[in-house]
Amino acid sequence: MEQTLKISKIREGTVIDHIPAGKAIKVLAILKIDEKGSQTVSVGIRVPSGRIGSKDVVKIEGRYLERFEVDKISLIAPEASISIVKNYEVVEKFRVDLPERVTGIIKCSNRNCITNSKEPVPSEFYVSSKKPLVLRCYYCERNMQEKDILNNL
């Protein structure tokens, strides 16, 4: 007998779907969702998916994401989709889109980069490659691979 896993619908809020399996916890950290929060959050980890084998899903009741949060999510889940829910209905759905330039979201891994000094200079990266993800610092030209990016979010 096949069993199905169901995560209940939300009335108002955001659903982040097609997160790579095992990365939902990183999404929660990006969104600063922890045990002190007041909103209801449902998380499915390694949920079967016909499209990508297995995936993670995050549903957040009563919260809509800011653009910079969607940009951060695109760095770790470039295939994710975001659904905006109102009155239990999906009113908008879109895929995250990795921008060509990432500003002020992650720190450069080069300790000597001007963005890591006491100067008020925000970090800025260009996307050198999407698969595999490689970002290049605008200031010091250091390349950052996915592992470095995840550590510096």
CA distances, 131 to each of 30, 39, 68, 134 (Å): 21, 34, 21, 8
Tell me: is residue 55 an annotated ligand-binding position: no
Tell me: is residue 15 an annotated ligand-binding position: no
Give the whole-angstrom CA distance, residue 69 versus residue 146: 18
Residues 41 and 27 sit within 8 Å (Cβ to Cβ)? no
The type of residue at 20 is P
Tell me: is residue 42 an annotated ligand-binding position: no
Tell me: is residue 113 an annotated ligand-binding position: yes
- 127, two tokens: 């996307």
Binding site residues, as ranges?
A: 108, 113, 137, 140
Binding site residues for Zn(2+), as ranges?
A: 108, 113, 137, 140
